Amino acid sequence: MSSISTCGVMLEPQHGMAMNQLVGTARLAEDLGFGYLFRSDHLLPTDGRRGMDSPECWTSLGAIAASTTKLKFGPMVSPVGFRNPALLARMACTLHSFSGGRLQLSMGAGWYEDEYSAHGYPFPPLRVRLSQFREALAIVKAMIRDGRADFDGEHFSAHTDCLPRPSGDLHLIIGGKTKSMVRLAAKEADEWNLLGSAPDAFVALKSVLEGASGGRDILISEMGPFLIGRNRSELEVSARKQIAKYGLDMSPDDLFRRLKARNAPCGSVDEFVEQVRSKLDAGIQRFYFQTLVPENTEMLRLLADTLKDGF
């Protein structure tokens, strides 16, 4: 069963979003009844464009915490390559306590080399980034669960208390689509999140998760784009807004085909519901809908109305 309170909005502020718009969208999501709001933790636009507003992730999460009262929120995901794990745990516990236990901490190994090099961070090969992630995860878990880390590794070390202590358990999410990350999520996280993928690929990764979990109950969530409209005309309007914002050289039909090739929900309300139901049947338990044009509030409101009916 999926409903608006178990679903969330996913924002990509690195693609041009002022801080007041980001906070306003969070407030709107809460007013509409969404249970969750996530935002990317990227230092640059990830599509190669430059020269646009890109509010820093954790600064904006503080603003969201102060501007909402019920919405659960967090990064999706914070790369440990430019987020020192001991400091990340301190920031997370501070916001979790301040917000009354609403922070959701999502971590990843990082993938976008340009943002690393532009800000002076080394971007090692995937093998090394996975090793960094394992060490970072050990430090973060010790600090948020036990209140202290004493750890010396190849990449990170920490010998410190985590104060303030978090108010209630801090929900830990690991995002990734490599088998190594899925196995780590199965053993260490409360939730595994993946970017929308083909059904066969998801089934294979879900099998890896179940095989490594040792019987642990872990939530499976999906983040990805979507388009929804009451009719063809409304759907095309939303498609054109996305095409214009991202400077894409394509037609609405091209965009529809691209989304469907990515197994992203796209179509009329009935088509959208049918596509999401198929994902639920496959084992996805929670959805974070990637809102690529947050100024298109009409589509966000239609998404909310559709989810409020439950399915």
| Per-run averaged pLDDT (10 residues), the chain, 311 residues | 89 96 97 98 94 94 98 97 97 95 97 97 97 98 95 98 84 94 96 92 95 94 97 97 96 96 95 95 96 97 91 68
Distance CA 115, CA 131 (A): 20
- Output the 3-class SS for the chain: CCCHHHCEEEECHHHCCCHHHHHHHHHHHHHHCCCEEEECCCCCCCCCCCCCCCCCHHHHHHHHHHHCCCCEEEECCEECCCCCHHHHHHHHHHHHHHCCCCEEEEEECCCCHHHHHHCCCCCCCHHHHHHHHHHHHHHHHHHHHHCEEEEECCCCEEEEECCCCCCCCCEEEEECCCHHHHHHHHHHCCEEEEECCCHHHHHHHHHHHHHHCCCCCCEEEEEEECEEECCHHHHHHHHHHHHHHCCCCCCHHHHHHHHHHCCCCEEEHHHHHHHHHHHHHHCCCEEEEEECCCCCHHHHHHHHHHHHCCC
| The two three-digit tokens of residue 39, written as one number | 């935002």
Distance CA 199, CA 74 (A): 27
What contacts 168, CB < 8 A, 6 or more positions away?
A: 96, 101
User: How far, in whole angstroms, is CA 253 from its chain's centroid?
Assistant: 27
Pairing of strands 227-229, 266-268: parallel
**pLDDT for 42:** 97
Domains in the chain, ordered, with CATH?
8-226 (3.20.20.30)
**pLDDT for 140:** 97
| The two three-digit tokens of residue 143, written as one number | 């600090």
Distances (CA, A) of 51 to 15, 54, 81: 10, 9, 24
- Global pTM reads 0.95
- Would you say the C-alpha torsion 201, 104, 15, 236 has a positive or negative sign? positive
